[in-house]
Amino acid sequence: MEFRDLLPRRRMVRNYLPEPLPREVLERIVETVRRAPSAGYSQGQRLVVVTDDAVRLAIAEAIHEPDRVADGFEPWVQSAPALVVVCTREDDYHDRYRQADKLDEQGREIDWPVPYWHFDAGAAAMLVLLTAVDEGLAAGLFGVFAELEPVLREHLAIPDDVTPVAVVTLGRPAADPRWSAVTSRATRPRRPLTQLVHWERWGGRRER
């Protein structure tokens, strides 16, 4: 699929058909992590693929999905045949930025302007979302809420030095009218391009 055709098709889908996904399709989706950009080529992104029914149910329960389903929402996480938990290993960045070519003028590790390890997790997540569409699938994403993190650590055996950042749901799309009615995308207008993109300078041309 051409990228210009793929991009408008990407949206968060919050309900899936109950069909397992072929292993090779999942492999193609998660292999994209090796193509993700990373600060200093630290490659701190880590992915955990989850297809086990009991683990998916535990994750759904941790985010109170059964209550939502009882309220009439589609079973977003439970219906997804596969989840990809996007994680980051912060120490990979400190290790990399303590190498000679990355030290500041004082010979120290840089003051991090933003946590690059979180930025890079987002870049990896984006590749998973887009590749899912390229594979003819749908995907959704939610962040790792405080109450979800210990559940992920326990069920997925995530090591202490790795932080789960987001969970991507994958599957063949099913109708999600209840979710669509309440998600931010449906309830808030898309911001105008003029608010989001500035050319040359914020606020227009400098007066001479």
Applying CB under 6 A, the residues found at the interface with ligand FMN are 11-12, 141-143, 166, 183-185
Q: Which of 40, 50, 136, 155 shows the shortest CA–CA distance to 97?
A: 40
Please give the structure tokens belonging to residue 139: 């995907």
The span from the CA of 85 to the CA of 46, in Å, is: 8
Nearer Cβ to ligand FMN (11/94) = 11
Could you tell me the smallest distance in angstroms from the CB atom of residue 102 to ligand FMN?
27
Nearer to ligand FMN, 74 or 92 (CB): 74
Dist. CA 74–CA 15, nearest whole Å = 6
Least Å from the CB of residue 166 to ligand FMN: 6
- CA triplet 8, 45, 108: central angle to 5 degrees? 120
Judged by CB, which is closer to ligand FMN: 143, or 159? 143
One DSSP character per residue, 105-138 reads TTSSPPPPSS-HHHHHHHHHHHHHHHHHHHTT-E
Order of all β-strands in the sheet with 45-50:
45-50, 82-88, 163-171, 138-143
User: In whole angstroms, how close is the CB of 84 to ligand FMN at the nearest point?
Assistant: 14
Provide, rounded to whole angstroms, the least separation between the CB of residue 145 and ligand FMN. Answer: 8
Nearest to 175 by CA among 11, 14, 19: 14
CB of 158 to ligand FMN, least distance (A): 18
Beta strands (DSSP E) in the chain are 45-50, 82-88, 138-143, 163-171
